[in-house]
Structure 1
Amino acid sequence: MNETTEAAGHIVGVHGIGQGRTNEVRLKDDWGNALQRGLTRKYGPHTAVPSLTVPHYTGLYRPAPVGGGRHLGPGDADVRDADEPMDADEEDFVTRALAAYAPGPLPEAGRSPDTLGAPLPYLPDAVTRRLAAADARHGRGAGAKVLVLVRQAYRYLHDEELGRRIREVIRAEIERSGARVLIAHSLGSVIAYDMLRRGELRDPDTHTLITCGSPLGWLTVRRRLPGEAHLSVPEPLHWHNLHADGDPVTGGAGLAHVVTSGSLLDTRVSNGIAAPHDAVRYLSQAALADTVLARTAAS
């Protein structure tokens, strides 16, 4: 492509977990640069890159200080999710999610230093054993990585006020920018789909949803969302889902098999072996560039 490609429209990104140590400006730069690499690689250096913003919501996870305690600093929300004790409802949610992620027999009761390292006193034994099973099935450290996602997903789905405030941040940016294209990564795909089911993404105003590394394939997650435990894609929404081999969140599987209404395009991509769930690796994929170019030009 020798001439400059006009890519009209604006994109709003909905980020996932592990963003406590970044901010909106850094996310915009990281996501925008990755998107530019994908478009340039596929269409050449003269391809116009659509504008993009990524509203940052991680700070909403931080609790207010109690009894003179300190405010949590950047990144502490992610740490708090990892080491905070679970109540019975969260334990049930987490064990069900991990059982689906790594089905099969559990290791013997008691913590396994070969798979989990140091003892984890804040985790129930049932969860610890499920983490060991996840490591055995998906590789060392897989369980711990997925646990962070599962616990943040639980907090989003369980805490109605937190969920409302997060959706409000995303919706405000969509309305401010007039965006009709969303790119949602990891937990962000759960948030975007939740907004869709609640009628907070008003079709056809938002007409394209691109999801990457989505945990919506997990029945445990879908059961906590409005509606039945399947995915419904309303017309005229165009939904393109990317899933990567080796991604510990997707297990290398897409979402089309859990769609019972409407249609969804699944695309398998390769993000390498070092960080297959990483957002910027998904964003630099040629398949994503194709959809972005086509759908922003239609905006």
Structure 2
Amino acid sequence: MVVSAGVTAMPGGSGRCGGRMSILGVHGIGNGKYFTQAGEDLVSATEAIGADWLGWMSRGGAKYAPGRPMPEALPVAYYADCLARDVAMGAADVESLDPVGRELFVTWVEEVGRERFGAQWATEVGQNAAHKWLVRRPAEAMVRHFGQSLCDLLARASDSLAGYFDPQDTSRREKARQRVAEAIRLYRPRAVLAHSLGSVVTYEALCADPELGKGIELLVTLGSPLGVPRVVFERLAPTPDGRGIRPPGVGVWVNLADVGDPVALPPGRLGERFEGLDEDITVSLDVLNPHGARNYLMCRQMTAVLGKHLR
């Protein structure tokens, strides 16, 4: 095992792997648990999440493409420790969000409801402008129409994004992007699978260094919030000028979004906001867990994308 500048090289996982699929994952929200459970040991945390991702993707491959070779390892660029405020799954509390997190949560709820119910949603969650970021009424509306689990999901996502986009402390954002960039340089993957917040970190890392994406034949964004207006899209670096740019250097860019995933809002329309998106695939995975990396990695469409573009 090799550890370079905070990036762990998995045995058998570095380089092109003799013609086998060479894939790098980039995790999303709610993965601070790996670091905690590993006793804050980065090597162990990286091994654990990589083993989970490989297991999930292999199960999908065995079901939908039996006989196709799978990678011997699936390293995952781990950056949750860089944010130092990642909220574990099931531990979300909208009342405990900081001011940036509250702003993101309320805005996200507004966008989710507007996508489903149109202009009438503004009345449902509308608040006095002087108390714009009070979270109780939007949270109650979210629970009433979408359920507690999706409300909790947006709370966790808002907390993680608040740490990443915090204008008062840009060091977390810089460290996360550096961690992903280092992993890409170390593994030289043919494909990068970036889930949730990981798609934002990966997008910014690739845009910051046009040389970084060269050699990446396939970029797959999974459950990506890149296009969520007022929450992520306008905060990206580089700042979109009408539409976001295509990550430089990558061969093919494919996006997968579950129809019920509130983080990946709006599903099937990322191409309206970004230049050069090659495929925008809408899937239906799990009503109770529409955002989990596990379901995205195991789905038939993910297996098909890998088979199509990594021959």
Per the normalisation by structure 2, the TM-score is 0.75
Counterpart of 1:149 in structure 2 is 157
CA offsets 1:122-169 (integer angstroms, 9 cap, x no match): x98622222222223322342222111022112112232111111111
Match of 1:189 among 191, 194, 199: 199
User: In the superposition, relative to structure 1, how do residues 82 and 196 fare at CA in structure 2: closer, same or farther (>3 Å)?
Assistant: farther
1:60-79 map, 5 Å: 60-62=82-84
Counterpart of 2:302 in structure 1 is 288
Aligned partners of 1:222 and 1:230 also within 8 Å: no
Match of 2:215 among 197, 205, 208: 205
Match of 1:59 among 81, 91, 94: 81
User: In the superposition, relative to structure 1, how do residues 142 and 262 fare at CA in structure 2: closer, same or farther (>3 Å)?
Assistant: same
User: In the superposition, relative to structure 1, how do residues 39 and 162 fare at CA in structure 2: closer, same or farther (>3 Å)?
Assistant: same
One-letter amino acid of the structure 1 residue matched with residue 28 of structure 2: G
* TM-aligned CA deviation for residue 236 of structure 1: 5.0
1:124-139 map, 5 Å: 126-139=134-147
CA offsets 1:170-194 (integer angstroms, 9 cap, x no match): 1112111111311011111111111
Aligned length: 268
Match of 1:230 among 243, 250, 254: 243
Aligned partners of 1:208 and 1:239 also within 8 Å: yes
Query: How many percent of aligned residue pairs carry the same amino acid?
Result: 24
Counterpart of 1:277 in structure 2 is 291
Query: Once structures 1 and 2 are overlaid, which stretch shifts more, 267-276 or 148-157?
Result: 267-276
Q: What is the Cα-based RMSD across aligned positions, in Å?
A: 3.0
User: In the superposition, relative to structure 1, how do residues 7 and 288 fare at CA in structure 2: closer, same or farther (>3 Å)?
Assistant: farther
Match of 1:170 among 167, 175, 180: 180
Query: Which consecutive residues of structure 1, in runs of 5 or more, have no partner in the other structure?
Result: 1-5, 64-73, 110-122
Counterpart of 1:39 in structure 2 is 61
Counterpart of 2:40 in structure 1 is none
User: In the superposition, relative to structure 1, how do residues 21 and 83 fare at CA in structure 2: closer, same or farther (>3 Å)?
Assistant: farther
Query: Which consecutive residues of structure 2, in runs of 5 or more, have no partner in the other structure?
Result: 1-17, 35-44, 115-120
CA distance in 1, matches of 2:68, 2:172: 39
CA distance in 1, matches of 2:21, 2:65: 18
CA distance in 1, matches of 2:144, 2:262: 13
Q: Is 1:49 matched up with 2:70?
A: yes
CA distance in 1, matches of 2:249, 2:181: 20
Per the normalisation by structure 1, the TM-score is 0.78
